[in-house]
């Protein structure tokens, strides 16, 4: 099967009250680990590359590696997605280069400009059969969100979200309801604004919503990092049961990068510490790839609910 867009997988996920995992990829081992997990779980998957990933590996390497993975796993519906594209030019380069889905993240721009550029990208992408994710709202840390006013200032406004989708024609929308990127998401208790998500769902029926910044920062992996010389202190993520609940609502795509980073790095630290004489990269990259696989399998089972949906 060639790369697919996300329309079909999101439709099934919406109807089935589960979500598709979008996992960030930067190299061969990460792609292989994710695809092995998708195969084992019989689940569709989204491989996503950020601008940082494009700079690190090179766009053509990423596309090439994913195409080879597809030959190995032709039965797995797989999308290749640009994560947080910051301009029309970068989205266009990915569309022209073989991606099946792109995100334009205009959330830092004024609303009108976000609408204008998103619409322009949707026009180009749809002509080429590529789907577009957009973003509205700010994925800030929520430690200061004590008041309703503060939430309204940062989180996505449901009415504006409905208008934005109508104006731009984007195929999915990332919203801000309390998640944020990285390993340090909350100073206080974890929080997701389900009321807001429900309002968005009512105003945009049958429409796929995306959650960024949805890693859980599983303590076991932080502890393993730190036990083998790491220094990851005070990290906190979104509890998995909270994400599972969001996946049963309008959320059809859940983005996970940090948990894969922690899984890989803790595996590499452990392997190096346990065999200090080893200097063969395969000695630590093999357990790292296995750690990616196990993490993705765990996410599919505990968070996404997308196992056996092919």
Q: Which residues are annotated as a binding site for dihydroxyacetone phosphate?
A: 182, 213-215, 255-258
Q: Are strands 78-85 and 209-211 parallel, antiparallel or unpaired?
A: unpaired
The number of residues making up the chain comes to 310
State the Cα–Cα distance between residues 212 and 203, nearest whole angstrom.
20
Q: Report, in Å, the least distance between residue 286 CB and Zn ion.
A: 28
Residues engaged in binding Zn ion (CB under 5 A): 105, 107, 135, 212
Among 199, 212, 253, 270, binds ligand 13P (CB under 6 A): 212
Q: Report, in Å, the least distance between residue 144 CB and ligand G3H.
A: 21
Q: Distances in Å between the alpha carbon of 38 and those of 8, 69, 223?
A: 17, 11, 27
State the Cα–Cα distance between residues 74 and 70, nearest whole angstrom.
5
Residue 107 found at the interface with ligand G3H (CB under 6 A) = no
Binding segment for ligand G3H among 48-56, 146-154, 169-177, 189-197 (CB under 6 A)?
A: 48-56
Nearest to 243 by CA among 209, 207, 199: 209
Contact call for residues 133 and 94 (beta carbons, < 8 A): no
Among 5, 85, 137, 213, binds ligand 13P (CB under 6 A): 213
Q: Report, in Å, the least distance between residue 183 CB and ligand 13P.
A: 7
The DSSP symbol for 184 reads B
Among 36, 41, 240, 257, binds ligand 13P (CB under 6 A): 257
Residue 133 found at the interface with ligand 13P (CB under 6 A) = no
Q: Among positive and negative, which fits the CA dihedral 290, 45, 105, 152?
A: negative
State the Cα–Cα distance between residues 310 and 305, nearest whole angstrom.
12
Q: Which does 52 bind (CB under 5 to 8 A by kind): ligand 13P, ligand G3H, Zn ion, none?
A: ligand G3H
Output 171 or 257, the one with its CB closest to ligand G3H: 257
Query: 72, 83, 241, 275: which is the annotated catalytic residue?
Result: 83
Among 4, 32, 84, 309, binds ligand G3H (CB under 6 A): 84
E strands in 105-248:
131-136, 172-175, 209-211
Q: Report, in Å, the least distance between residue 150 CB and Zn ion.
A: 19
Find how far residue 153's CA is from the centre of its chain: 24
Output 182 or 239, the one with its CB closest to ligand 13P: 182
| Residue 193 annotated in active site | no
State the Cα–Cα distance between residues 261 and 53, nearest whole angstrom.
13
At residue 255, the 3 state secondary structure works out as: strand
Give me the residue label for tokens 């090179």. 58
Among 258, 265, 266, 309, binds ligand 13P (CB under 6 A): 258
Q: Which does 107 bind (CB under 5 to 8 A by kind): Zn ion, ligand 13P, ligand G3H, none?
A: Zn ion
Binding segment for ligand 13P among 32-40, 129-137, 209-217, 266-274 (CB under 6 A)?
A: 209-217
Q: Among positive and negative, which fits the CA dihedral 6, 208, 183, 226?
A: negative
State the Cα–Cα distance between residues 170 and 131, nearest whole angstrom.
8
Contact footprint for ligand G3H (CB under 6 A): 24, 50, 52-53, 83-84, 181, 257
Name the site residues for ligand 13P (rule: CB under 6 A).
24, 83-84, 181-182, 212-215, 255-258
Catalytic positions, please?
83
């Amino acid at each position: 099967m060639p790369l697919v867009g996300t329309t079909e997988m999101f439709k099934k996920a919406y109807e089935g009250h589960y979500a598709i995992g979008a996992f960030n990829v930067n190299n061969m081992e990460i792609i292989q680990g994710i695809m092995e997990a998708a195969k084992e779980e019989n689940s569709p998957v989204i491989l996503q590359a950020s601008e940082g990933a494009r700079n690190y590996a090179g766009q053509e390497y990423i596309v090439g590696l994913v195409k080879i993975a597809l030959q190995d796993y032709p039965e797995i519906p797989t999308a290749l997605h640009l994560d947080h594209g910051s301009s029309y030019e970068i989205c266009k380069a990915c569309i022209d280069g073989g991606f099946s889905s792109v995100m334009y993240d205009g959330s830092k721009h004024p609303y009108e400009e976000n609408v204008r550029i998103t619409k322009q990208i949707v026009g180009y992408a749809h002509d080429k059969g590529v789907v577009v994710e957009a973003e509205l709202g700010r994925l800030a840390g929520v430690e200061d969100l004590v008041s309703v006013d503060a939430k309204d200032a940062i989180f996505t406004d449901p009415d504006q979200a409905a208008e934005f989708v109508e104006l731009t024609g984007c195929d999915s929308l990332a919203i801000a309801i309390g998640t944020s990127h990285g390993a340090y998401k909350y100073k206080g208790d974890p929080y997701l604004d389900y009321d807001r998500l429900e309002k968005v769902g009512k105003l945009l029926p049958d429409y796929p919503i995306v959650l960024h910044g949805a890693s859980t920062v599983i303590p076991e992996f932080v502890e393993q990092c730190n036990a083998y010389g790491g220094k990851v202190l005070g990290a906190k993520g979104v509890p998995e049961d909270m994400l599972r609940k969001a996946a049963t609502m309008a959320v059809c795509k859940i983005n996970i990068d940090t948990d894969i980073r922690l899984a890989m790095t803790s595996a590499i630290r452990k392997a190096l510490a346990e065999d200090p004489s080893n200097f063969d990269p395969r000695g630590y990259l093999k357990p790292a790839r296995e750690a990616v696989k196990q993490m993705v399998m765990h996410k599919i089972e505990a968070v996404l609910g997308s196992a056996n949906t092919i």
